């Protein structure tokens, strides 16, 4: 189990801050052993949580052009036909995966192909499970064209807590199914927009894992 590069700075700064808090507590309350132990326990718990959040498990898969893998860990909260207004501007089949702060937050490419379009929108920060979060929140949209010409849009959406979306995709880039697309810090959501009629392989409310669960077939 590795630690994601997006967590290096936060872990370093967090360690310094928590260490300083405990040193100050030791100076301010030298005789209050219980209080110092409580502060130490809370500090350790918080730091372990941050370590856990930025975990990067190794997940290998054999790319398959007929399958669409989950791009994120989390719960499937939306499976519906909807109007996609940002790129396609037509009806698409939307699958949305909500990531809680306890999920692994590295996002992966659900298919192999060529990146046709990348767009970042600053937006708002309403709760990520809200239906309007796909249209109103801070987000980054990536369109991938597969070898057979099918275009798939993957949208990273920040939640009420998240304030930082990292997207590694660049227009014209060749990408491989299962490769790292980006990262969203803290609670968030990932939408996938597929052609209407795509065969869905997951039910609503199912827990899925990136590179592990197949969500649809092309």
Q: Convert the pLDDT of each residue in 52-71 to its tens digit.
A: 999 999 998 999 999 999 99
pLDDT of residue 66: 94
CATH number at residue 127: 2.70.70.10
DSSP character string of the chain: -EE-GGGHHHHHHHHHHHHHHHHHHHHH-TT-HHHHHHHHHHHHHHHHHHHHHTEE--------TTEEE-SSSEEEEEEEEEEETTTT-EEEEEEEEEE-TTS--EEE-SS-EEEEEEEEE--B---TTSTTHHHHB-EEEEEEE-TTS-EEEEEEEE-SS---EEE---TT-EE-TTSEEEEE-SSEEEEEEE-TTPEE-S-TT-EE-TTT-EEEE-
Same domain, 131 and 40: no
Which of the listed residues 36, 56, 76 is the one where a domain comes to its end?
A: 56
- The answer to whether residues 16 and 117 belong to one domain is no
Which of 14-28, 65-79, 85-99, 131-145 has the weakest average pLDDT? 131-145
Per the structure, the complete domain to which residue 45 belongs is given by 2-56
pLDDT score of 124? 61
Same domain for 26 and 123? no
Distance CA 103, CA 107 (A): 11
Q: Are 77 and 131 in a shared domain?
A: yes
Could you report the per-residue pLDDT of 72-105, keeping only the tens digit for each? Answer: 999 999 999 999 999 999 999 999 999 988 899 9
| Residues designated catalytic | 188
pLDDT at position 158: 84
Q: Which residue has the tokens 């077939």?
A: 217
If one compares 164 and 109, the residue with the highest pLDDT of the two is 109
Which of 14, 36, 56 marks a domain boundary? Answer: 56
Please check whether residue 30 is in contact with residue 146, taking contact to mean a CB–CB distance below 8 angstroms: no
In the chain, how many domains are there? 2
Q: Examine residue 62 and state whether it is found in any structural domain, yes or no.
A: no
- Domain membership flag for residue 61: no
Domain stops at, among 34, 56, 78: 56
C-beta pairs of 19-24 under 8 Å, 24+ apart in sequence: none
């Amino acid at each position: 189990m590795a630690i994601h590069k997006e967590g290096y700075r936060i872990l370093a700064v967090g360690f310094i801050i928590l260490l300083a808090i405990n040193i100050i507590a030791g100076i301010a309350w030298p005789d209050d052993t219980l209080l110092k132990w409580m502060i130490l326990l809370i500090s350790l718990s918080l730091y372990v949580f941050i370590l856990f959040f930025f975990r990067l498990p190794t997940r290998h898969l054999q790319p398959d052009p007929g399958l669409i893998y989950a791009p994120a860990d989390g719960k499937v909260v939306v499976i519906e036909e909807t109007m996609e207004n940002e790129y396609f501007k037509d009806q698409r089949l939307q699958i949305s995966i909500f990531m809680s702060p306890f999920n692994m937050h590295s996002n992966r490419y659900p298919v192999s192909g060529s990146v046709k379009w990348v767009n970042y929108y600053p937006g708002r920060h309403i709760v990520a499970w809200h239906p309007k979060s796909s249209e109103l929140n801070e987000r980054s949209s990536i369109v991938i064209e597969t070898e057979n010409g099918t275009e798939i849009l993957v949208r990273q959406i920040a939640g009420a807590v998240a304030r930082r979306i990292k997207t590694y995709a660049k227009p014209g880039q060749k990408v491989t199914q299962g490769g790292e697309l980006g990262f969203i810090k803290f609670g968030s959501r990932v939408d996938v927009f597929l052609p209407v009629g795509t065969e869905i392989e997951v039910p609503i409310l199912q827990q899925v894992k990136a590179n592990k669960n197949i969500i649809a077939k092309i």
